A = this chain, B = another copy of it.
Amino acid sequence: MVFHVEYPRTIPPRRPEGHQPAAPRYTLRWDEPVPTMISDYFAIQALDLDPAVRKEFFDRVTASFAGEEGPGAHETMQFVDEAGFTNAVVVAYWTDPTRHARWAARSPYLAWFGSSDRLGESLGYWRETLVVPYDRHETIYSAPHYRIGLARTPGSRIVPMTVNGYFGAARDRIPLSAVDPLESPYKDNPPRRREVNSLGRRLRAATPLNMTALRSGQFWVGAGEEQLTDYLDNLQPKLMRGMEYLLQSKEQTGTLSLRVMTNLDETGNPRAETSVLAYFISLEGLEDWAKSHETHLEIYRHAIAMNRKFKEKREVVTWHECFVMPEASSFEYVNCQPGTGVLPYCELLEAVR
């Protein structure tokens, strides 16, 4: 079987009548029902992150993944945030919420992360857990052969699709969009950035309904000279201009957080692969940027042009996974700098000891 969820539409699709995509695209399905999927991001943060400390962190997190309750897939990444701190990240994926919760209840890493000892360190730690009902997700891949992110979970397969190549396609791919406009409850009154006192504290952030999480990836490992040069000289700079625009225009676009992460290999060295992890107050802000802003149109046109030029010989893979989130309180920041993640925008809570 190929599992999928569809609702009889009460809201019309964005797809124009008779639309044919300009380039083939692919999406993810599973062989068995996956009613809920989980992306769990674990990170360490320091102004100057010692590689030995980073290795110890990665080892500690990944050691906790052993056993049948561990994730189906995980990756390591790194980025420098807007405040200049280095953050090293492990992202792990589960396709079973009960197994994930059992893992969390018994994880040696989470016991260590939860210890008050962490507050006395010079390092910061954070965890951003995305628990996503199937009907609140969509994925897209420019090629069927490269597995990354959710696409590395067992039982998944990358399949061709035609719900792509027009503005609004991402929304149309989210099953729930057939019956729910997926608006932010704070549409008319978006949260204002504020300075929080987060150092030396453990803070839980309450993320609002329909907050949209996007992990978009770029993979050019093994690309030949022509396509490598094009990627580095053309697509990557356009992408970075787009990301810079979103970072500089948080209020206009509803961007709450955006990190350009570099994927790491098993020894901790950078790969020819990046992922942008971003949170938006709603899908709508992201859509408005995608359909109308020059910085996105340039990325979009160039990616389509290269797909048409190289067809199945295209050596650069682009993809994303997008989650329109239920209301949750599952982001946790320990001794982090005040600009970390959604800290400046979300309601914050502290556990009562």
Contact = CB atoms under 8 A, between A and B. Distances in A.
Interface stretch (A59-67, A201-209, A229-237, A251-259): A201-209
A105 interface: yes
A96 B209 CA distance: 12
A199 to B, nearest CB: 13
A1 B179 CA distance: 14
Contacts of A3: 7-8
A182 interface: yes
A327 B10 contact: no
Contact of A352 (B104, B182, B203, B210): B203
Interface in A1-19: 1, 3, 5, 7-8, 10
A181 interface: yes
B131 A327 contact: yes
Contact of A104 (B35, B98, B181, B185): B185
Given A105-B186, A348-B351, A98 B32 contact: no
Contacts of A248: none
A180 interface: yes
Number of chain A interface residues as a range: 35 or more
A326 B35 contact: no
A179 B32 contact: yes
A121 interface: no
Contacts of A349: 204, 329, 349-352
A178 B32 CA distance: 11
Contacts of A352: 196, 203, 348-350
A176 interface: yes
A115 interface: no
Contacts of A208: 101
A48 interface: no
A42 to B, nearest CB: 17
17 contacts: A3-B7, A5-B5, A7-B35, A10-B33, A33-B178, A35-B176, A97-B327, A98-B185, A101-B209, A101-B210, A105-B185, A131-B327, A133-B133, A204-B329, A329-B329, A348-B351, A348-B352
Top 7 A-B residue pairs of the complex, sorted by shortest distance between their CB atoms: A101-B185, A329-B329, A349-B349, A101-B209, A348-B352, A7-B33, A105-B185
Interface of A: 1, 3, 5, 7-8, 10, 32-33, 35-36, 96-98, 101-102, 104-105, 131, 133, 135, 176, 178-183, 185-186, 189, 196, 203-204, 206, 208-210, 326-330, 347-352
Given A8-B33, A105-B186, A349-B350, 5 more contacts: A7-B33, A8-B32, A98-B183, A131-B327, A206-B329
